[in-house]
């Protein structure tokens, strides 16, 4: 990613290399983030945590990312900070090491906060870099960027099962090597960002909102997108924090086997993310958003009552179809507010972290009062909110 590699002499190579590097760093970032919920059974055993405490740990981690991301995105829209990316990865590294050597639940919470802060810094600027390197294919670029994160999330349970679980809590420290690699790559990305003229204040002529839509229409559309993200990510919170426990409780699986089933779900999420962006480029974002959220409803309703093999199949369908929405939602939001790319990215990434954390905490309390199975029954109705996608305006110019 030298300056010579990013000039007009090889623009296609530039797009591929920069997108690939951003996606790889997203993989490393989200792998570290995914280790937290994947190692909940270890923390639960070592520290005697209740489901409510597990939910609280998720909450402090995700609410930190939620609160900071929109403000970081808004600030960097106006004052780009190309080298903030390795700083964010450093925060994740320190958070991971804190979790690895935490002596009690309070220190676990500190580690979760540092992980959340790392994500808050990482997502807005890296998403902006993906858009800058897109060559105009914004949906494809967002999918390539996002799929790295999805693969990282998918690898988290496997890494926990085969690396952390045999070594216990301190096994998390091994993934500091992944964080260090991410710091090096993100430093190079920051250099590309700075040397190619992208790290500058936006022009005063850059429109803040879509030229064919009023402020009220943009606000209404953004509200609908937030509602759709609520539906999607509260449902996904049940899988991220409690799917392992659901599989263990319902089918009597071991922790390691249940983690493999969670990997299968996250792999389907990654595949759906790859598909969602290019399909949105071709057919339109609104179609993808509509189908991917409301269309998954029959499958979510069936999953809590299925046997083991059908449960695995349904989880694959749900993960694939539902995950195709996020790249389309991000690009649609960026089209609504072209002068606020960082803020939109930060708002959406921040919201999904926040609502995922709140959802995990509430679902943990519900699980303590009822059962994990009941949690999945309640969550199965959430995709019905997808009907609101019919109210989204067209962003075609």
Q: What is the 3-state secondary structure (H, E, C) of 51-81?
A: HHHHHHHHHHHHHHHHHHHHHHHHHHHHCCC
Within a domain: 368: yes
pLDDT for position 256:
84
Within a domain: 297: yes
Q: Please give the backbone phi and psi of residue 307, each rounded to the nearest 5 degrees, phi first.
A: -80, 180
CA angle 78, 81, 83 (to 5 degrees): 170
Within a domain: 237: yes
Tell me the per-residue pLDDT of 9-25, one tens digit each, with 9 for 90 and over. 334 444 788 889 999 99
pLDDT for position 320:
92
Is this model's pTM higher than 0.75 or not? Answer: no
Distance from C-alpha of 85 to C-alpha of 123, rounded to nearest angstrom: 9
Number of Cα atoms under 13 Å in the Cβ half of residue 216: 0
* The token pair that represents 179 in the structure block: 């964080």
Range of the domain at 255: 3-391
pLDDT for position 271:
84
Within a domain: 397: no
What's 236's domain CATH number? 1.20.1250.20
Displacement of CA 273 from its chain's centroid (Å): 11
pLDDT for position 96:
93
Total domains in the chain come to 1
Tell me the per-residue pLDDT of 169-223, one tens digit each, with 9 for 90 and over. 999 999 999 999 999 999 999 888 877 655 555 555 555 556 567 888 888 999 9
Within a domain: 37: yes
Within a domain: 396: no
**Average pLDDT of the residues in 33-60:** 86
Within a domain: 245: yes
Distance from C-alpha of 91 to C-alpha of 97, rounded to nearest angstrom: 10
């Amino acid at each position: 990613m030298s300056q010579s590699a990013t000039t007009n002499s090889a623009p296609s190579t530039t797009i591929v290399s920069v997108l690939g590097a951003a996606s790889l760093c997203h993989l490393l970032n989200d792998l570290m983030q995914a280790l937290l919920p994947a190692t909940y059974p270890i923390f639960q055993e070592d520290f005697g945590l209740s489901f409510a405490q597990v939910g609280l740990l998720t909450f402090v981690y995700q609410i930190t990312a939620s609160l900071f991301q929109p403000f970081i995105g808004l600030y960097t829209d106006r004052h780009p900070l190309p080298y903030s990316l390795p700083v964010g990865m450093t925060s994740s590294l320190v958070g991971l090491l804190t979790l690895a050597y935490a002596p009690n639940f309070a220190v676990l919470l500190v580690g979760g906060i540092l992980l959340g802060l790392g994500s808050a810094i990482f997502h807005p600027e890296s998403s902006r870099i993906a858009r800058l390197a897109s060559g105009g294919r914004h949906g494809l670029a967002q999918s390539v960027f996002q799929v790295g994160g999805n693969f990282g999330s998918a690898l988290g349970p496997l890494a926990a099962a085969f690396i952390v679980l045999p070594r216990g809590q301190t096994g998390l420290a091994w993934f500091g090597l992944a964080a260090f690699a991410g710091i090096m790559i993100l430093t190079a990305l920051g250099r590309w960002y700075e040397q190619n003229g992208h790290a500058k204040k936006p022009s005063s002529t850059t429109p803040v909102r879509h030229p064919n839509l009023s402020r009220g229409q943009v606000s209404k559309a953004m509200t609908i997108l937030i509602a759709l993200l609520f539906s999607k990510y509260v449902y996904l919170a049940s899988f991220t924090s409690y799917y392992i426990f659901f599989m263990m409780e319902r089918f009597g699986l071991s922790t390691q086997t249940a983690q493999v089933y969670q990997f299968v779900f996250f792999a389907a999420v990654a595949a759906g993310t790859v598909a969602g962006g290019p399909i949105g480029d071709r057919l339109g974002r609104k179609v993808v958003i509509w189908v991917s959220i409301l269309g998954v409803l029959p499958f979510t309703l069936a999953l809590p009552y299925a046997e083991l093999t059908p449960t695995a199949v349904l989880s694959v369908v749900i993960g694939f179809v539902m995950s195709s929405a996020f790249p389309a939602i991000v690009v649609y939001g960026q089209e609504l507010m072209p002068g606020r790319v960082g803020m939109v990215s930060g708002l959406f990434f921040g919201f999904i972290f926040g609502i995922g954390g709140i959802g995990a905490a509430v679902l943990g309390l519900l699980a303590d009062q009822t059962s994990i199975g009941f949690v999945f029954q309640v969550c199965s109705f959430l995709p019905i909110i997808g009907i609101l996608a019919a109210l989204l305006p067209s962003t075609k110019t």
